[in-house]
Amino acid sequence: MDKDTRKMTSYAMLLALSMILGYLESMIPTPFPIPGIKLGLANIVNIIGLFSLGILPTGIISFLRVLLLSMLFGNLMTLSYSMAGFFLSFFVMILAKQCFKLSFISVSLLGGIFHNVGQILMAALLLRNPVLFAYLPLLLLAGMAAGIVMGVLASIVAKRLSKFFRELRG
């Protein structure tokens, strides 16, 4: 298999994996009755991708995941909240990794926090209701906890897949 075909199939596999993780997560009941709190399982692929594939392929895979999952299992509001969270968190994760050279866990932590910030900003804008910012402290705590857990998991998985990503880049 030539290098371009191998890359394309690997990216497709990572997109499928992130979609599966996102779908599985939607089936897990959250113990909190607050909208927006979730684990962020699909973000494991984002974190690994940022550190192993680079910004562009990871951005495309993540964007497609958000778009496809919203189209398949959500609605226009889901898409707008998810895209706002994705763009803000992805931008912050890029800065954290590229400019500040932060670790898997730190980048994931910031991603979890800023995903929730992006969603609240979009919700407040669309619903024209600043009261939604009252949810922010709780969402920030949930984003921090989920970000740390996903960062640890991403770090473990990335170590196990390091040979695969080296061959993909090489």
Strand residues in the chain grouped as ranges (E): none
Q: For the whole model, what pTM was predicted?
A: 0.94
Domains, the chain, with CATH or none: 3-169 (1.10.1760.20)
pLDDT tens string 79-115: 999 999 999 999 999 999 999 999 999 999 999 999 9
User: Which amino acid is located at 45 in the chain?
Assistant: V
Q: For residue 64, name the pLDDT band (cuts at 50, 70, 90).
A: very high
Taking the C-alpha atoms of residue 56 and residue 77, their distance in angstroms, rounded to an integer, is 26
